[in-house]
Amino acid sequence: MELRIVANPDGFELEFGETTVLRHTQLCPAVAMAVGNPCVEMYRGNFQIEDEPSCPIAPTAWRKCDGGLELLGAGKPVARIVVSGNAFTVQALDSSFDRLWVRLYAEAGETVWGGGEQMSYLTLNGRAFPMWTSEPGVGRDKASELTQLMDETAKAGGDYWNTNYPQPTFLTSRWLAVHLDETCYSVLDFRDSAHHEVEVWANSARFELFVDSHPRGLVSQLSSRFGRQPELPEWATGGAIIGIKSGASSFDRIEDFINAGAAVSGLWCEDWAGVRETSFGRRLFWDWQHGERSKARYPDLPRRIADLNARGIRFLAYANPYLAVDGDLFEEVRTAGHFCLRQNSDEVYLVDFGEFDCGVLDFTREETRAWFAERILGQEMLDIGIAGWMADFGEYLPTDLQLSDGSDPMEAHNQWPVLWAEVNAQALASRDRTGDALFFMRAGFSGVQKHCPLLWAGDQCVDFTRHDGIGTVITAALSAGLVGNAFSHSDCGGYTSMHGHVRTAELLQRWCEMAAFAPVMRTHEGNRPDDNLQYDSTPELLTCFARWSRVHARLAPYVRTLCSEAVAIGLPAQRPLFLHYPDDPALFAVQDQFMYGSDLLVAPVIEEGAQHRQVVLPGNVSWNHVWTGEQYAPGRYEISAPLGYPPVFYRLDSPYADLFADLRREFE
C-alpha cells in the first residue's frame, strides 16, 4: 500500500489506501512554516521551553512535481511534500525556516491515543502534548497545592503532558497510526477537532503511516516498526522483587518477607554503590562501582549474591548515565574523554542533580557507549552476580553543551534515552544474558522498544491524586503499550514523598493489589524511606504483601503466554479495553481498568477510601468474579471492593479459567 496524491477542485488530499491522511484547501492549508526564536531552560531535569516564531507562511497554491508536490508562496515554491511508500516528507525550501506545522485530516468524533507513555490521559483529544523527555514533575496538576509549592520552590510541579517517555506517534479510531520520524522538539496538538496538528522544530519532517482493520493489528505493526522486546525472564514473572535500601541489613529484612510466605524472586538494593542524604531525601551516590563505598555498605556482596542465587533469588542494583564529581570514577572518565563538554571548551559540562553535580556520559561516542557497557555494567555489576538493575534517568541532556559527534543537542536530547537503552542492552548481550538478566527504564523515545525489555512508570507521588498518584501507572502502561512497549510495571507503594505527603496503609494495600496484575511486581522504599510506611513496617502490611505476591506468582503460567504473544505479534501484557472490543466507542476513554491479556479484566481501586467502584464488562461472553465466583453478563456494574478484594474478572471461555478460579485459594 502506498500513499497517493488526489487532486480536487479546492486543493488536494493524501490518501493511504482508502484512508484520508491529509487534506489541503484554500481555507485550511495543510502546512505552515516560520522561523523559530526559542528559549530553552533546564533546572534539574525540568524544562521551560518557549518560542517566538517570525515570518510565518501558510502557502495555499500548489503544483505537482517529481515525487510529490510543491507548495507555492507568491508564485514561487516555498515547501515540498515528497511521497514514498507509506511515508511523506514536508520540507521548507528556505533553510532558515525551522518551524513546521502540519495539519492532518481528522474525522468528526475521531478518538486519538498515543504520545508515548502518558500519565494523565489515555485519549489525547482536546489537548496538546509536547514531545520532550523530562522529569514529569511532582503533583502535575497546576490547581493542586503540592504542584504550586513544587513550582515555587524547585520549578518542578509539572503538568499533565510532562513525561519521561514521549513519542510522536498517535493512533486514531479509524485504525490509522501516524509517526513523526524526527527526534527534535515537537507538539502533538489535538485541541481543534477539525484536524490533528503536529508542530515540528525542524526544517524537514518525515511522517510514517500505518493502517489496519483492527487496533490489535495496528499495534502489532507499530511493534514491528520500533522493535519488539525479548520475553521477560521466568524468574522476573514468578515472584515479587523486593526493593530495600538499608545496606547490609537488607539481606536480613528480606528474610522477613520470605518467612511471611511471600513469593520472592529478587532483592533490589539500589543503594549498592552508596548513599548521600539531601533535602529531597535519601539519594544514591552516583559512582557505579563495587568499590570501597559499596563494600562498606554491602560487605562481601558477591558472596551474598551467590547465596541468594542458590535459593533462586536474584540480586538487582541501580545505575544511571551520570557520574558524580566527588566520586572515584569521575577523573578516570574525564581523562578518557567520555564526558560531554561545555560549548567551545574542554571543560566537563556539569549538571545539578539536586545538591550534587555530575558529568554527563557522551553516548554519541561509540567508545563511551562501549566503555560504560563493559566497565560499569559488565565488570562492576554483571560480573559480580548482579542479575538486573534500574537503568534510571536519561532525560537530563542539556541543550547548551558540546557533543563529540557535533550534533545539535536539541536534536539529540530526545534520542538520549534510546542511546542509554542501547548501552544497557549491549552489556547484557556481551555476557550472553539477554532474556536472563533484566534492566528497566522510565525514560524513552521512539526506538527505545528495540533495546529496553521493561518499563517502569517513574516516580509517582505516594497518594491517590488524579495526575500523579496510583492511578497514573495504569494510564502509563496502556498508552506505552499502544506504541510497542509490551511490559510495564511501577514502584509498588509509590516513590515521591514531599512536604508532608506520606504513604498510608491503605495506599500500600491498594498498590500491591494492582501490582499483582502486572508482569513484574516490584516494591520501592521511596525517596524518604524513614518517614514512610514500608511493607515490612507492620505484620498486617507484610501479610497483605505476601498474599498478593503469591497471587502474582500463581499467574505466572498465564503471564508466560503473554510474554510469548508479545514476542510473536507485539501485543502488550496490559491492554486498554478497546484493543479487544473496538466496536464499542464507550470503551475508548476507559483508563482506570484494563485487560490483562485477553482473558483477565482488572479494575484496581485507585480512589482513597473507596469500598466499591464501577466496572464495565465488555463483549458478549459472561465474566466470572475471581474472588466470589459470581457470574456476570456483559454490562456496567457497581462492584463491591473492600480492601483486599479489587474487582478482577475472567472470561468463562478462557483456557485458563481453572487457573484464575484457583486464585481464590489465597482468600480462603
Active site residue 459: yes
- Site of grid cell 515490612: 536
Q: Look up residue 407 and give its three cell numbers.
A: 550534533
Rounded distance between C-alpha atoms, residue 571 and residue 350, angstroms: 41
The gap between the terminal CA atoms of the chain, to the nearest Å, is 56
| Helix H or strand E encompassing 428 | helix 416-430
Rounded distance between C-alpha atoms, residue 168 and residue 620, angstroms: 35
φ and ψ at 491, to 5 degrees?
-75, 105
Catalytic residue among 374, 392, 491, 536: 392
Pairing outcome for strands 521-523 and 491-492: parallel
φ and ψ at 575, to 5 degrees?
-135, 140
Q: CA 419, 484, 515: angle at the middle one, nearest 5?
A: 95
Catalytic residue among 287, 380, 422, 459: 459
- Site of grid cell 523559530: 36
Whole-Å CA distances, 163 to 136, 138, 186, 465? 5, 11, 14, 17
Pairing outcome for strands 574-575 and 521-523: unpaired
Whole-Å CA distances, 471 to 240, 393, 465? 20, 22, 8
Catalytic residue among 395, 422, 536, 599: 395
Burial pattern 597-634, b for ≥16 Cβ within 10 A else e, equals bbbbbbbbbbbeeeeebebbbbeeeebbbbbeeeeeee
Active site residue 392: yes
Burial pattern 198-208, b for ≥16 Cβ within 10 A else e, equals bbbbbbbbbbb
Nearest Cα to Cα of residue 157 among 549, 498, 643: 498
Mutual angle of helices 556-569 and 539-554, in 10-degree steps: 50
Report CA 315 to chain centroid distance, whole Å: 24
φ and ψ at 74, to 5 degrees?
55, 35
Rounded distance between C-alpha atoms, residue 619 and residue 657, angstroms: 17
The DSSP annotation for 162-227 comes to --S-EEEEEEETTTEEEEE---S-EEEE--STTEEEEEESSSEEEEEEEE-SSHHHHHHHHHHHH-
Active site residue 395: yes
Rounded distance between C-alpha atoms, residue 238 and residue 320, angstroms: 27
Nearest Cα to Cα of residue 319 among 227, 428, 400, 460: 428
The DSSP annotation for 134-148 comes to ----SS--TTSHHHH
For residues 523 and 243, the answer to whether their CB atoms sit within 8 Å is yes
Q: CA 116, 121, 126: angle at the middle one, nearest 5?
A: 100
For residues 61 and 53, the answer to whether their CB atoms sit within 8 Å is no
Mutual angle of helices 539-554 and 505-515, in 10-degree steps: 10
Contacts of residue 212, defined as CB under 8 A and 6 or more positions apart, other chains included, come to: 175, 218, 220, 221
Residues labelled catalytic: 392, 395, 459
